[in-house]
Amino acid sequence: MCILFYVNAGATALQLINFYMHFRFITLVARQEWASIFRSRVPLALFAVLFVVVLLATFTGWQYVSKFNHQQKAAHQEVHDQWMSQPNRHPHRVAHYGYMVFREKSPLSFFDFGLDSYVGNSVFLEAHRQNTVNMSEAGFSNGMLRFGELSMAMVLQLLVPLFIIFIGFQTVASLKQNGVLKLLLCQSASYLDILLGKITGLTAVVWALFLPLLLVSLLAGNLLITGEMSAEALLRVLLLTILYAIYFLIITMLVVIVSAISKSAKNALMVLVLVWMLFFIVIPKSAQTLGSSLHRAPDKIAFEQAIEEDVSKQGDSHNPDDPHFASLKANTLKKYNVDSISQLPVNYAALVMQEGENISSGIFNKHFDRLVGIYKAQNAVSSILGFADPYLAIRNISMNLSGTDFDSFTAFQKQTEKYRFEKTKKLNEIHLTQIKYQNDSKQKVSAKNWQQQPDFSFQPLAIRENLAAGTLSMAALILWVFASLGVLIFVSSKRAYQI
């Protein structure tokens, strides 16, 4: 037993020594990579350019969002003042007077514009009609918007990978060309140790240069826009920083893998540039086209016509012979045990208008949910392709956490429709109980009736809802890490890639 114990202890000690030797060599290679990058002026010059671009994007984004939200608040206050200053009048006139609601941009939208420039920012609410959200920046811009807007997220997603390519394309390939790789392999170092050391060194450089900049910009921008730092906002900032750290790690691993399998640094650079074009231009555009082809959405005219057709089939309040409203009339007379609508203790016209509102709102919600389902199916194509392109994965989850994704927009649309319906319903209740059926249109009620109604306040999606929407994208990023590690181990095991 004692002999067996000493044998096991000796084996464990050898394993620990072997692990320490591998770890020490990886650390040595990483330090050498770190030192060689900072000795060269080219990487520092490239970083200086990116640093200026990031600061410019952050400042312009913060300035734009702050100014935009200030304008939205001012417009909302003006509309609210006009609503409150209405004189005594008929409640149905108030319902058709309408009310405009505005959507402010999320605090982190200065970092990632997402879909904000392509979706509307305000909607006019009125009785009997569901209006779509209007006033998007894209509608007032020139054709340059199709090339994208300069945001900090765009710099980190598109330009930082180029920076990683240019500082890392020759990291392994150059060792093959000058014969250093053979010398390193002769010193009892494995090819995997060298590759892991290179990845560690490059990743440390990228994280040291960009993650502090990202973290400080997110914290400062959010604080300047909102004037506070809530626990949820802080969690969003930390998650964004972690996810971008993972994204940079993935890009670094891919760069080292390509450099490791390339015969020369020139070949590695050519392949990496082609991969960059594939990941950041070809696949994203293809994803958008594929999603639209697989799940076709109706245009605005077809959408509104379908709603009108369904409304006319279910019940037309303007048609006295409509079966649905004829049944409503008969049931109402029976309920109050009277012979004519003039004998009713409530205003029958208000009942008809509210029933029409119930029908049109229900049908609109059904069609809108169906339309949202189509768009979500289109977006799902992009999320699935995130398993083939890490850029799509980080782009989607970045929009989710910044509150500039599709779900945030549809939440605004649904909340405004709910507010419109409740506002109209309350006005119809005033009409029902305070306006007599005889000489209906000539009567008025006190303005206090609508002045006491609550104002609209948009409730952004909670972070758990954003994370649920970005589950596929986060899973894609994690899979990319493990898949890259697997490819790295495979490449290191092939002698053909060591020559």
CA–CA dist 191, 182 (Å, integer): 10
Question: How confident is the model over 455-470, as a mean pLDDT?
Answer: 92
- Separation CA 8–CA 350 (nearest Å): 89
Name the nearest CA neighbour of 404 among 65, 67, 132. 65
- Where are the extended beta strands (E) located within 37-111? 99-102
Residue 3 burial (10 A CB sphere; 0-12, 13-18, 19+): exposed
Rounded CA separation 163/51 (Å):
12
Q: Is the pLDDT of residue 2 over 70?
A: no
Residue showing tokens 């696949």: 283
**What's the pLDDT score for residue 118?**
81
Q: Which residue has the higher pLDDT, 209 or 190?
A: 209
pLDDT digits (tens, 9 = 90+) for 310-320: 888 887 766 66
Listed in sequence order, the DSSP H helices in 188-230 are 191-226
Which pLDDT band, with edges at 50, 70 and 90, does 139 fall under?
A: very low
Q: Quick one: pLDDT at residue 117? A: 79
Instruction: Say whether pLDDT at 396 is over 50.
Output: yes
Q: Apex CA 95: angle with CA 93 and CA 100, to 5°?
A: 120
Mean pLDDT of 287-296: 90
Contacts of 169 (CB under 8 A, 6+ apart): 255, 258, 259, 265, 268, 269, 272
Token reading at 475: 């899973």
**pLDDT digit string (tens) for 410-422?**
999 999 999 999 9
Q: What mean pLDDT is reported for the chain?
A: 87
Rg of the Cα atoms in the chain:
31
pLDDT tens column, 14-29: 566 666 677 888 888 8
Angle, CA 153 vertex, CA 205 and CA 289 arms, to 5°: 120
Q: Within 13 Å of residue 119, how many CA atoms lie on the same side as its CB? A: 19
Closest CA to 31 of 225, 198, 247, 206: 198
- The lowest-confidence range among 181-190, 223-232, 374-383, 435-444 is 181-190
Helix (H, G, I), strand (E, B) or coil at 135: coil
Q: Is the pLDDT of residue 235 over 90?
A: yes
Classify 50 as helix, strand or coil.
helix
- Cβ 138 vs Cβ 176: under 8 Å: no
Q: In what helix (H) or strand (E) does residue 294 lie, and over which residues does it extend? A: helix 283-294
Q: Is 230 exposed, middle or buried (0-12, 13-18, 19+ CB in 10 A)?
A: exposed
What backbone torsions phi and psi does residue 337 show, to the nearest 5 degrees? 55, 50
Q: Give the integer Cα–Cα distance in Å for 435 and 431.
A: 5
pLDDT band at 197 (very low <50, low <70, confident <90, very high): very high
Question: How far, in Å, are 48, 114, 273, 392, 400 from residue 150 at the CA level?
Answer: 17, 11, 21, 18, 19
Better-scored residue on pLDDT, 163 or 93? 163
Residue 108 and residue 470: Cα distance in Å, rounded?
Answer: 16
